[in-house]
Structure 1
């Protein structure tokens, strides 16, 4: 039994009419963490496309020291620099020309990006969060979505981080106070039944 199960007392399925899939920072820089979950991220993308749920990618990078903020101090300048191969989204992702890519410079996909406006304009009230890193950009985005009034679904098997303890801690926190936990199987069953 997963350590977060005792906190997962709420269950719900995403509504395909009002959901968006957020694929957070699946970039070359994070490929060592992202590769193991890539099949689950792709499965989630395909399920969402099949249900006509829009797919929104985020890309974290910095253009100059002016936009480093606290991340420059925290990570001793080891940042994703725009224009490098590391900053690009992984080529294995099923990204289509009409998919939105939200550019960000902090952990949250909502801070100074226009993501909330985009979701509201499309009448979307729910987000499904996948990608990396579970405990940083994914968790911060999920928490901020919740406080902005969006219903949050957080993937337990299509998110990853540097170690399992941090991953599990995020799942506990989010299940306790912010998000419905899902995985590929639950999304498939929630959207399509047992087809």
Structure 2
């Protein structure tokens, strides 16, 4: 009986010391992707946080890797103007490939078109073109020159067009951070652009 109690005490002390000293878990490598849920393309510039161990950023094709992860660390991702699913994933084993799906947050653009006297210019066609120069959305200015377009996701080149008019600036780029766009028109003399 004394011998059983002695062995139990030694095991208890050993377990306590192991807990105090701590067993260092080895570093493990993990990697993954962040993909656009609408297009399936990789999303670059996404911050990837691996618990309290460190951070990295996705490459242009949405891939990332981290070589000093620990088993059980939570990995989360973030980028302004985006939401991601799942919110986080745990590191389970060496070589884990963790994939997140991102959705751009839709935004609105508003603004106005004015003539040389400062009065609103009605019925100006406002064009929104994507990075492939494809017109993907349009709206028109109202009687006060004001316009608004909602439901936009991504980066667009915005152009104002009205037959017989030229506008300054010639174009504006919007990506959700600059929600107001103003154009100033004057009657043009030369040929109109082909929109």
Higher helix share: 1
CA radius of gyration, larger in: 2
The structure whose RCO (Cα within 8 Å, separation 6+) is larger is: 1
Higher strand share: 2
TM-score, normalised via structure 1 length: 0.19
